[in-house]
Chain A
Amino acid sequence: MIETVKAKAKELLESGNIQGFLGLIEKNGHIAPHLFTDPVELQALNLGDREKAGDARYPLTKYLIQIAKAHPEHIFGILVRGCDERSLKTLYNWNQLDPNQVVPLGFACPEELAEACECLQPYPDACEAGEKVSGRSFEGVAKLDAMERGERFDYWNEQFSKCIKCYGCRDVCPVCFCNECSLASDDLIQTKTFPPETPLFHLVRAVHMAGRCVDCGLCEQACPVGIPLRTLYKKIYAIMDSEFDYQMGYSEEKSPLNLL
């Protein structure tokens, strides 16, 4: 599959239709985000797989925001999985990226990753490489929903109490781009104190993710203390789906909660 991706990226660069291809490269013994401008470099392209499929994924679409803004004269190719495509869609909706400036190159995730992610659609709509496997349901959410209310409350409070307030969940998130962040607003939380208020800090972020989170799971991977953030936001997805008939990351328009 990776050879197909390399060939397509090469085609895009050589055709002159794009001036750079944002993807991942293997260098210095690591897997790093990289802007390919020379097709020769594509030999070292990586899909974000180190020991396990998708264990070296990065929020590429987030990085593209700044690059594309600085170079409005250029068109950029970008490597996307299903969740990256979902974030692109969201970033277009929020005018953070211009679809005319972006050429996605999509590939499908394998079975084991779809399973680990409990991903509803483990492939992009525009999928040019890899074999599509079927989506999964949110079993983690169902498990927590099955708990008795008090027990569930205790579970989450215990999880949140581990937080070291690193803001990594926000900093890594492909759809966190606000100039004024709720988590930096003294009106909503105590910004300069530690430990964070539990569960306020996490619920402020969770509420702000309603209508935005695309279920990429990068926040949970970045969390140094292993809080199951992804499950929390999957619950938000489920609520938005059942109460507003809005599918975060899949619906074409902005969420009904948008005031802007």
Chain B
Amino acid sequence: MNYTTALTTCTYCGCGCNFYLEVLDGKVIGTIPCKTSPTNEGKLCIKGWNVHEFVQNPKRLTKPLIRKNGQLLEADWEEALDFTASKLKEIAGKDGPDSLAFLASAKLSNEENYIYQKFARAGVGTNNIDHCARL
């Protein structure tokens, strides 16, 4: 029998609400908003309350997918990155960097998001960057 409550931070938006994930015998079974967190004081929005449902959801993507002939197929990272890079080059070369847009994510760390926007702005040359927390 193993029941633990792991303190962590919500990945849905930039607020940084704290909660405990209830883990029973290796399975995440619940979300408990942290009452002593100065950020959210034991409160959460509906997305935060349901974090435990996505963590181990079988529908969650664990491998990159590439659409081939209208079908999404699993690919390895090497292939996915090569494909993305060549497409980005092709589109930027043909229609200019502003024909591309980049969508970052609150599920990335601060540093990862920094690199991502740097890649968009300095690497590709567009200011078309936004992120999923603008809901």
Give every chain B residue within 8 A of A223 (Cβ-Cβ). Answer: 43
- Nearest B residue to A223, CB-CB: B43
Give every chain B residue within 8 A of A19 (Cβ-Cβ). Answer: 1
Known: A30-B7, A168-B43, A171-B49. A56 touches B24 (CB 8 A): no
Given contacts A56-B36, A164-B46, 5 further A-B contacts (CB under 8 A): A30-B7, A30-B18, A63-B22, A63-B30, A66-B30
- Nearest A residue to B41, CB-CB: A221
**Residues of A in contact with B, size category:** 20 to 34
Q: Is A33 an interface residue (CB 8 A)?
A: yes
Give every chain B residue within 8 A of A67 (Cβ-Cβ). Answer: 1, 3, 24
B25 CB to closest chain A CB (Å) equals: 6
> B residues near A, CB below 8 A?
1, 3-5, 7, 18, 20, 22, 24-25, 29-30, 32-37, 42-46, 49
The reply to whether A20 and B49 contact each other, CB–CB distance below 8 Å, is: no
Name the residue among B22, B33, B37 with the largest chain A CB count within 10 angstroms: B33
> A residues near B, CB below 8 A?
19-20, 27-35, 37, 50, 55-58, 63, 66-67, 70-71, 74, 164-168, 171-172, 221-224
The reply to whether A71 and B22 contact each other, CB–CB distance below 8 Å, is: no
A171 to B34, CA, bound (A): 14
A6 to B45, CA, bound (A): 35
- Nearest B residue to A22, CB-CB: B3
A204 to B95, CA, bound (A): 55
The reply to whether B42 and A70 contact each other, CB–CB distance below 8 Å, is: no
Name the residue among B3, B5, B44, B46 with the largest chain A CB count within 10 angstroms: B3
Known: A166-B45, A166-B46. A31 touches B36 (CB 8 A): yes
Give every chain B residue within 8 A of A224 (Cβ-Cβ). Answer: 43-45
A167 to B43, CA, bound (A): 11
Give every chain B residue within 8 A of A66 (Cβ-Cβ). Answer: 22, 24, 29-30
A184 CB to closest chain B CB (Å) equals: 12
A80 to B43, CA, bound (A): 22
B47 CB to closest chain A CB (Å) equals: 9
Q: Identify the 6 closest CB pairs spanning chains A and B, nearest first.
A: A224-B43, A35-B3, A30-B36, A166-B46, A56-B35, A32-B5
The reply to whether A168 and B3 contact each other, CB–CB distance below 8 Å, is: no
A103 CB to closest chain B CB (Å) equals: 16
The reply to whether B29 and A55 contact each other, CB–CB distance below 8 Å, is: no
Give every chain B residue within 8 A of A28 (Cβ-Cβ). Answer: 7
Can you sample 8 A-B contacts with CB below 8 Å? A20-B3, A29-B36, A33-B5, A67-B1, A165-B46, A166-B45, A167-B46, A168-B33
Give every chain A residue within 8 A of B30 (Cβ-Cβ). Answer: 63, 66
A37 to B3, CA, bound (A): 10
